[in-house]
Structure 1
Amino acid sequence: MSVSDVLNASARPAAIALRGIHKAYGRRTALDGLELDVAEGEFFCLLGPSGAGKTTTLKTVAGLEQPDSGTVELDGTDMAGVEPYDRGVAMCFESYALYPHRSAYDNLASPLRSPRHRLPASEARDRVGAIAELLGISALLDRPVGALSNGQRQRIALGRVLVRPARAFLLDEPLSHLDAKLRQSMRAELKAIGAVRRTTTLYVTHDSVEALALGDRIGVIRDGRIVQTGTREEIWYRPRDTEVARAFGRPRINLLPGTITDDGRFRAVDGAFDLPVAARTAAGTEVLAGVRPRDLALGGEGHELTGTVYVTEVLGRAVEVTVRLGAQHVSLVVPRADATHLRPDDPVRLTVRPENLLLFEADRPERPGRRIGQ
């Protein structure tokens, strides 16, 4: 059996909908009225920090946790009272959840020995072999799980999910224990699997690079609520607030404090520079001007900022340049060839295109600043 045959041997994908899900553990609220829609066949990434409610969301969809209120729907059918086994979803746990006394092969084959998904031994062997080849673990099949590294165990856990037909895959940070090189390779493999198989996938991660690379759409979860959903372009260029803006991009977005002047311009808090802004807000309003490091350029066309080089850092074929603008610093990323001549204290002229300049309300203790003009 070829890899493509395995990928296409899938149950009909299911749409996932969560409506007003509340879940608490004692005094701690894990999910607070969570609303989420994942389309049939969509690869949806759920991004958030530890404790945001990501894993609880997956377990609620799988039926491993029962919500205190709200509904879980698969293809429009309420899953209340439906056992996990009968939901037709396959979940990969961050903790692997492997059988430690069995071989890697037996762990991969275990779903194909269950009453619902039982296959003849020869067909199961072909399917396990195809998935093992896809994940680069063919040489590990005879080894006991206890003799494998964490990264190898993680791939075994992921393979056990992929080996059987499912209406939806629920993946809980499946690449978190892999080294950087293997993680990049596996992202490419997962993207290929998503494109070929089109099984509905809800993928949890704390890594914005993974979310941007894999997701057809991305949902940002915070304190048990979805704060924004959208495509990678929508999340990147139209973040809902400063916390969403900070979550995406390395180096992080530059957020410069200032106020709006009487003539509708942004003026830095120390008065070192000002910029025209398209969004209209009252004069004197405290705001943050946001611009991503890759949207700043040395020279060129756009709004101008003048400053001096503070430090440069080589990032492979690119260079991160930190520039002083009065008392503040901004970072930009430029091709290495464009920065070889830069030295500390050199004067530089930066430009940013008007459409790449974002404006946010100032952050408050109770909440991050919302984007102005959304």
Structure 2
Amino acid sequence: MSSKKATIALRGVHKTYGRTTALDGLELDVREGEFFCLLGPSGAGKTTTLKTVAGLELPDSGAVLLDGADMKGVEPYDRGVAMCFESYALYPHKSAYDNLASPLRSPRHRLPAAEARERIGAIAELLGISALLDRPVGRLSNGQRQRVALGRVLVRPARAFLLDEPLSHLDAKLRQQMRAELKAIGAVQHTTTLYVTHDSVEALALGDRIGVIREGRIVQTGTREEIWYQPYDTEVARAFGRPRINLLPGAVTADGGFRSADGKVELPLRAQATPGMDVLVGVRPRDITLTGPGHELTGTVYVTEVLGRAIEVTVRIGELHVSLVAPRSEAAGLRPDDPVRLSVRPENLLLFEADRPERPGRRIGTR
């Protein structure tokens, strides 16, 4: 099968294991050459989605399409996709080099030895494992094994890469470095990539688009800007950003503004909602300032926490606690119970229906 990049589509895919529903009518579109991140918590259906695309799991109903062609009855080997498992799936008795070379020695993807060495060398250098190629896999650390497993996928000509949490076993510094490398690899390879992660930072850093999956369904698909500024519901809003978004409970006033239950917080709203409606106002900590223009709120410092060059400040306003991130130059002198004034721009406020037991509160659109 050729190495030209492919589109990936899932149409109404259902998959159950006994009484457990893994995929519940999943709809997904990955464009040609796109780096698409599928984000969700453990058990959301991420890995099952990848295995279904690869042909390692067969859907109970629905269709998997590669380049518009239905994959029903097409064996995994014939789909032209390469998958990296979170569990490495390496040959433990072979060297790192031989593990990387194994796809290029198969009848389907066989390359001349010199060309294979050149390809393996380039991928090994990108992944920072050039010095490890002669070492047996059994003598590698977990992080090194994970990079070898990723490299074994990337050396193989494929129409699409399917990557299942490929950085999950790396330490924080190496993960950050590898995120940058992965983006570079994507640009070099120009290969359609479906990348699974539970890490929202990773999804925001890597994804051309992001799909948020929950209980076997895609809740929202969009660019990082769309997901960040227009989250579908409060659960999507909470999933992105550290510190987490502030969600302030209250109700819509007669004049279309917002008032908290204790009346201590009043905010103008750009979104139109029914007066008296129970709502949550969302504002991200980085959109609240201690100085500058905007609607003013007054409160007292509850606690501060240093975050490198910035400081997270939690402010008590009546019964509510509001978090913000401020430069150290502005917040270094703040102590608990100090009075502070906060500024919030109305255009940065998000409005949601109040959370219900059966579902998160959905975003209410702007005027």
Q: What's the TM-score bracket when you normalise by the shorter of the two chains?
A: over 0.9
Which whole-Å CA distance do the structure 2 matches of 1:163 and 1:187 have between them?
A: 18
Letter in 1 for 2:135: R
Which whole-Å CA distance do the structure 1 matches of 2:343 and 2:38 have between them?
A: 34
Q: Deviations over 1:48-107 (max 9, x none)?
A: 000000000000000000000000001111111110000100000000111111111111
Q: Give 1:196's match in structure 2, choosing from 188, 198, 201.
A: 188
Q: Which residue of 2 aligns with 1:11?
A: 3
Q: Which residue of 1 aligns with 2:70?
A: 78
Q: Which residue of 2 aligns with 1:325?
A: 317
Alpha-carbon shift at residue 267 of structure 1 (Å): 0.6
Q: Which residue of 2 aligns with 1:115?
A: 107
Which whole-Å CA distance do the structure 1 matches of 2:135 and 2:323 have between them?
A: 48
Letter in 2 for 1:35: E
Are the counterparts in 1 of residues 126 and 185 from structure 2 also a CA contact under 8 Å?
no
Which whole-Å CA distance do the structure 1 matches of 2:220 and 2:214 have between them?
A: 10
Q: Deviations over 1:185-234 (max 9, x none)?
A: 00000111112322100000000000000000000000000000000000
Q: Which residue of 1 aligns with 2:300?
A: 308
**How does 1:273-292 map onto structure 2 within 5 Å?**
273-292=265-284
Are the counterparts in 1 of residues 83 and 163 from structure 2 also a CA contact under 8 Å?
yes
1:177 aligns with 2:169: yes
Question: The residue matched to 1:100 in structure 2 has which SS?
Answer: coil
Alpha-carbon shift at residue 346 of structure 1 (Å): 1.2
Letter in 2 for 1:79: M
Which whole-Å CA distance do the structure 2 matches of 1:229 and 1:137 have between them?
A: 34
Which whole-Å CA distance do the structure 2 matches of 1:307 and 1:296 have between them?
A: 13
Are the counterparts in 1 of residues 161 and 192 from structure 2 also a CA contact under 8 Å?
yes
Alpha-carbon shift at residue 269 of structure 1 (Å): 1.4
Question: The residue matched to 1:368 in structure 2 has which SS?
Answer: coil
Q: Give 1:208's match in structure 2, choosing from 197, 200, 204.
A: 200
Q: Which residue of 1 aligns with 2:38?
A: 46
Alpha-carbon shift at residue 124 of structure 1 (Å): 1.3
Q: Deviations over 1:167-193 (max 9, x none)?
A: 000000000000011000000001111
1:98 aligns with 2:95: no
Question: The residue matched to 1:311 in structure 2 has which SS?
Answer: strand
Letter in 2 for 1:218: I
Which whole-Å CA distance do the structure 2 matches of 1:230 and 1:254 have between them?
A: 22
| TM-score calculated relative to the size of structure 1 | 0.96
Alpha-carbon shift at residue 128 of structure 1 (Å): 1.2
Gaps of 5+ in 2: none
Which whole-Å CA distance do the structure 2 matches of 1:273 and 1:259 have between them?
A: 11
Which whole-Å CA distance do the structure 2 matches of 1:193 and 1:123 have between them?
A: 19
Q: Which residue of 2 aligns with 1:129?
A: 121
Gaps of 5+ in 1: 1-9
Q: Give 2:140's match in structure 1, choosing from 132, 148, 158.
A: 148
Q: Which residue of 2 aligns with 1:4?
A: none
1:243 aligns with 2:225: no
Which whole-Å CA distance do the structure 1 matches of 2:274 and 2:121 have between them?
A: 64
| TM-score calculated relative to the size of structure 2 | 0.98
Which has the larger displacement, 293-302 or 24-33?
Answer: 293-302
Letter in 1 for 2:31: A
Q: Which residue of 2 aligns with 1:367?
A: 359
Number of aligned residues: 365
Q: CA RMSD in A?
A: 1.0
Alpha-carbon shift at residue 284 of structure 1 (Å): 1.5
Q: Which residue of 2 aligns with 1:254?
A: 246
Which has the larger displacement, 340-349 or 91-100?
Answer: 340-349
Which has the larger displacement, 234-243 or 310-319?
Answer: 310-319
Which has the larger displacement, 265-274 or 104-113?
Answer: 265-274
Are the counterparts in 1 of residues 295 and 346 from structure 2 also a CA contact under 8 Å?
yes
The percent of aligned pairs where both chains have the same amino acid is 84
Which whole-Å CA distance do the structure 2 matches of 1:139 and 1:194 have between them?
A: 23
1:355 aligns with 2:344: no
Which whole-Å CA distance do the structure 1 matches of 2:343 and 2:131 have between them?
A: 53
Which has the larger displacement, 334-343 or 218-227?
Answer: 334-343
Alpha-carbon shift at residue 122 of structure 1 (Å): 2.1
Flag as ranges the 4+ runs of structure 1 deviating above 3 A: none
